[in-house]
Chains A and B, each alone.
Chain A
């Protein structure tokens, strides 16, 4: 178990490193002028040259990559923003909690809606409950989260006035963003839960449980659910990836001061240190979350515990 953890944590290094190099390279070769963005459209040529010189933007690609990696990894220094000179690390630290809150509440909403919906669909297979939950989940899974966010704002914030349109001054501000990023995941998780539940219900050990005289509900909760959750965990892991992506957009829509909106601003303004810092942190969060998902396998599936031990 300990060995497994150490191994997995060591694996984070190449993953985060690889992601950083990839993003750095993409940014280097995409058009855009950081200096003009930072200094304004009517800045003089001298000040632009001076800016480029100061931030090493005239250096060749490999030199820039080297200095980026050197300052980021051994020194954990994410640099300062081109635009306002603030420390990227400090910004990220102050924004981290918002992003964690909305992504984790989002995934919890996905799980809390998705798993019961899948169970209801599977245990009422081929009835209206099944059809209804599958139609709704197909609809939700194929809807982009930003569009859903806009619908929710229109209805609950503008039409009914129950919830704030933007900002997270109180907890009510979290409802719409979390629901809008969680709903797509809920739909996928529901579909996965349904199909793995149906798979499990056909297994011989379920017949054994029935032959003991157990009631249907006990069989579903006591025997089927845990086995059915194993593939659902994989789906939850996949949804985490999607969710981190949709949180970027949702933070912007709802003006949430998280890492996502910071990243989007950074991209728009070609503020390279901000973009890179955000990507490094997001990939780290994502990898750690996936590690937790993997550890969940061991909780659910005893066969996995053996793999951990060896």
Chain B
């Protein structure tokens, strides 16, 4: 992959949530690249730090308690983390936008849904407010909601419809990068397919890049070009979708889905693994997966394993591979 094709690159990102009594190490030295026109899947258990990474890219982490304590997020040779707030506002919702995880709370209960879509358009595109309304209506239709419902309030919508409104907001300004945080969790299967098709269309039409955060391996298999597996705020394995599905190497990844050879074809959810994620306020010294790993040795507990190249773009963070 040549340098030119990278849209956004995250370098050594560290994010902490700190309160008076403790510090949650949510993201620990994460580096990732999102290529132009490609979809990067980000998979991992709940609490692994996926949403935190997406919000860090948008710079919408709640501060306090969240603090980005290290790293860079480079887009167009500029570090987004260093940008002035007013320049960042021109990027948010316009060049980078986000589909939020929880549709029930992500819409403002006192504003009609159409206006919530229209706002984004009016903000970033040089159009009259009439045209912005019209475009918002088109967006509603595009996500499968009749435009007559423009003036309805969120409480008049089902969870799936709210999620579609959120998707319409995110897609309204044809972003270059879409951060999709479990975009289909709230939807039933048919709508799920529609939404994925829609995102695919956008990708084909406009070359939009997507960061696809999901628990659903079927979606990963269907949509992602590359996959990053995250555990306790660290990338433990990264590769193309084929590499990860056909030759998962990290014990965590194999635990999740490697043991099922037809996983990718049959779809399905991540399999639970014995044990719990380590306490993010008190992470183990060495490999963070060691307490749950069947292959763990003394060496694993001593220092943090480095990411090692396994050929192609496939990298893995494990001493035993």
Contact = CB atoms under 8 A, between A and B. Distances in A.
Given A202-B62, A212-B93, A303 B105 contact: no
Interface string B102-123: 1001111111000010011001
B125 to A, nearest CB: 11
B123 A204 contact: no
Contacts of A301: 109-110
Mostly, the B contact residues are mixed
Nearest to B95: A213
Interface string B138-171: 0000000000000001010000000000100100
Contacts of A203: 105
Nearest to B107: A205
Given A204-B102, A204-B105, A208-B166, A214 B110 contact: no
Given A211-B58, A212-B123, A303 B109 contact: yes
A302 interface: yes
B106 A204 contact: yes
Given A202-B62, A302-B155, A214 B109 contact: no
A211 B60 contact: yes
Interface residues of B, number: 31
Contacts of B91: 213
A205 B89 contact: no
A298 to B, nearest CB: 12
Contact of B100 (A207, A223, A300): A207
Given A203-B105, A227-B109, A211 B155 contact: no
A226 interface: yes
Interface of A: 202-205, 207-215, 222-223, 226-227, 300-303, 306
Kindly list the 9 A-B residue pairs having the minimum CB-CB distance in the complex, ordered from nearest: A213-B93, A212-B93, A213-B92, A204-B105, A205-B108, A302-B153, A212-B120, A213-B89, A226-B110
Interface of B: 55, 58, 60, 62, 86, 89-94, 97-98, 100, 102, 105-111, 116, 119-120, 123-124, 153, 155, 166, 169
